Amino acid sequence: MPVISVPQDFNEDELYVDVEAVFGHPLFLKCEGFNFAGSIKLKAAAEMVEAAERDGLLTRDSVLVESSSGNLGVALSMIAASKGYRFVCVTDSRCNLATRLLMEALGSEVHVIAKPAAEGGFLGARIDHVRKLVASSGRYVWLNQYTNPHNGMAHYRTTAPAIARQFPGLDVLFVGAGTTGTLMGCARYFRQWHPRVRIVAVDSVGSVTFGGAPGRRMIPGLGTSVRPPLLDASLVDEVVHVKEADTVRACHRLARRGFLFGGSTGTVVSGAIDWLSRQEDPSLTAVAIAPDLGERYLETIYQTNWVQELYGEDALDSPTLTAPSPAA
């Protein structure tokens, strides 16, 4: 029986879901949402905070500040609360309401950027705001998930080895691309220790990470409007781009089987199934990293009006995504 004293000490690292019955292709999802932060971002958050403490960057009077579309902000809120730090999360208007409320419930201060920058979109505007805060006081400590090497190191040390242990015959690994910390950490590990494994990055249409044209993206998590400094594209074998409507469809199909996953997971699953459907070998051993769960998307991805307004009727797998309110 595990007994912990701080929330970051618990993380389920060995749970996989076989979704072949859902999508018709063999694919195992590594579920990373079963911890107190609710996503894979707990690993990067813990690694970056611990490194800052070792390096003497964090003191009792420090105020952590970070730009986040949501999940990293929740993870840092939780860790800051457990360690006694103040934390300011700079997010934008696309961040789910449930996520913002969760960060505030954990004691964090949330700054919401309402207008994208002319260069760099919402991400550029968030980073500009963080830099202004840091310049205003020496108390602010910016971990900077976009350049921090410990972001990827967390997955080199934990996520990738865990997958290799469970799947010694792995053929292909699908990893979503946001800051590319998870992607780079896993790619470096497999290049070094299991080079036969193919690394397929999954990105959102409208993201500039791999050189695509910028476009509207309404689902937070994967994709960027500024090319991630951590990215080394030479470590990636292929890239699959997923439309947000396909993200929604994948989430709905999983939900119809009782698996409520988040938007990042829906994107990764959609990209993985698209890639697998184009392969001649049906016996490939494939794993996809599922970064998040779906509760924080109940007012967006799983809400009929929101989906219809942004993506049209075709994005709906069934006439109703949310049950009607009971009659008074």
- Choose between 276 and 93: higher pLDDT: 276
- Look at residue 324 in the predicted model and tell me its pLDDT: 39
pLDDT in tens, 35-53: 999 999 999 999 999 999 9
Q: Which residues contact 114 (CB under 8 A, 6 or more apart)?
A: 92, 93
| Whether residue 322 has pLDDT greater than 60 | no
Catalytic residue among 39, 69, 77, 264: 264
Q: At what angle do helices 304-311 and 244-255 cross, to 10 degrees?
A: 150
Catalytic residue among 30, 41, 43, 67: 41
**Going from the N-terminus, what domains does the chain have, and what CATH number goes with each?**
7-35+148-314 (3.40.50.1100), 41-142 (3.40.50.1100)
| Whether residue 164 has pLDDT greater than 70 | yes
Q: Which residues contact 171 (CB under 8 A, 6 or more apart)?
A: 196, 197, 198, 284, 285, 286
What is the average pLDDT score of the chain? 93
Question: How many percent of the chain have pLDDT more than 90?
Answer: 85
234 counts as catalytic: no
Strands 238-242 and 198-204 turn out to be: parallel
- Look at residue 286 in the predicted model and tell me its pLDDT: 98
- DSSP-derived secondary structure for 19-44: -HHHHSS--EEEE---STT-BTHHHH
30 counts as catalytic: no
Average pLDDT rounded to a whole number, residues 226-252 = 96
Confidence of residue 325 (pLDDT cuts 50, 70, 90): very low
Question: How many percent of the chain have pLDDT more than 70?
Answer: 96
